[in-house]
Amino acid sequence: MTAPTPPQAPCSDWITGADVADRCALDPSYGSDPAVYDHVAHVASQVLWALSGRQFSGVCSATVRPCAPTCSCWPVLPAVSPGVLGSVYWDFGGFWGGWWSGGGTNGCCGCLSRVKLAGYPVIQIEEVKIDGVPVDPANYRLDGWRWLTAIDTAGVAVQPFAVTGVNAGAGLVSVAGGDSTALFPAGSTITIVGSTGNDGTYTVVGSAFGGDTEITVDGVFPSAVADGTVYNEGQAGQSWRWPACQNLAADDDQPGTFTVTYTFGVDPPAVGLDAAAELACMLATAIGGGDCGLPPGTTKITRQGVTIDMDTLAQALRLGITGLPLTDLFLATVNPSGLTRRTTVFSPDAIPYAQKYGS
């Protein structure tokens, strides 16, 4: 199994300049505006993040484009299957519909029941989009602080379709995504969300394909404004899967795309925040020209200054010892072995992480 690679810097500083100003008795020559301490707060955060083994990155955000490494999907689904989220339909390893319309720019193919997300632990799934349309959160969950899992649901609005037209008096709504009439049988229900005036659940009378899929409901729509998203109803016995074939050349608001936005990471504990403030105080005093505490390795004080055993100081720094009591207590607690980062295991058989979207 491959462990996630930690970020090369914390996603946010552990402390701010205001924290340094509030917690430390600084030399007046350094100033009184908390903003002038932002730099030492940033440096102290970077130093303790590294010395603590890069464990506490803060809360990070990422958007990824899941993509299966192989072109296989077993067991085989019907050629037009309501079991695959998005507009990919599968039959003996081939695919049809809106996801093939990229003209060869598709970067991957297959089907997924769950997606492996980099950055441990994953805190929250912020948004999942297929074909540029948000997926109802009722259709997925977060497992093991790492996996985005599709949920098998019956009677729950499942697949998103963008509204392209509304005939309010006729009770007809048109949706994009090719011929999706198989997903809207008579007697099923649809749910409309994010519209100007048509949000709600409606019973389907029938559906037809005329460039877009046209769905007729039992009743009328309050508004003729064509906006919002239509979700179809999950059917009993269906096994929902994430599409793993997508047009990587298209922006994530376009048909044929699949993106996941989520947050991950760990905030430093309270003792880590206090340690960062202690270190920042020492740095601020030194930069401001005030009186500094004696550095580690000091052996004696002479009449004109301090004599330092440099070998002792160099050895202490190699061991991650700063000479600051709270800071060293924190490091000894969270990283007693002095590791530079979490242990990572690489294997060619490991399931790959969903790749980051954009730079």
Identify which of 262, 235, 234, 212 has the alpha carbon closest to the alpha carbon of residue 159: 234
Is residue 221 domain-shared with residue 296, that is, in the same domain? no
Exposure on the CB side of residue 325, measured as CA atoms within 13 A = 1
Is residue 77 domain-shared with residue 128, that is, in the same domain? yes
| pLDDT at 107 (0 to 100) | 44
Q: Per the domain annotation, does 228 fall within a domain? A: yes
What pLDDT, in 10s, does the model give residues 127-163? Answer: 998 878 888 887 889 999 999 988 766 555 567 788 9
What pairs with residue 65 in β-bridges?
355
Q: Per the domain annotation, does 283 fall within a domain? A: yes
Q: Per the domain annotation, does 353 fall within a domain? A: no
- Residue that wins the pLDDT comparison between 312 and 218: 218
Residues in the chain: 359
Residues with Cβ within 8 Å of 230's Cβ and at least 6 positions away in sequence, in order, are 160, 161, 162, 163, 173, 175, 190, 191, 192, 215
Is residue 115 domain-shared with residue 249, that is, in the same domain? yes
What pLDDT, in 10s, does the model give residues 78-123? Answer: 333 334 444 433 332 223 223 322 333 334 444 567 889 988 899 9
What pairs with residue 143 in β-bridges?
147
Is residue 139 domain-shared with residue 244, that is, in the same domain? yes
Average pLDDT of every residue of the chain: 75
Is residue 117 domain-shared with residue 227, that is, in the same domain? no
Is residue 243 domain-shared with residue 148, that is, in the same domain? yes
The whole-angstrom separation of Cα 137 and Cα 294 is 56
Domain count across the chain: 3
- Residue that wins the pLDDT comparison between 274 and 73: 274
Look-up of token digits 């899941």: 66
The whole-angstrom separation of Cα 66 and Cα 215 is 31
Is residue 260 domain-shared with residue 272, that is, in the same domain? no
Q: What is the mean pLDDT of residues 299-321?
A: 54
What pLDDT, in 10s, does the model give residues 282-302? Answer: 888 776 655 555 454 555 545
353 has a pLDDT exceeding 90: no
Domain range for 224 is 157-233
pLDDT-based confidence at residue 359 (cuts at 50, 70, 90): low
- The residue type at 256: G
What pLDDT, in 10s, does the model give residues 177-224? Answer: 788 888 888 988 888 888 999 998 899 999 999 889 999 999 999 999
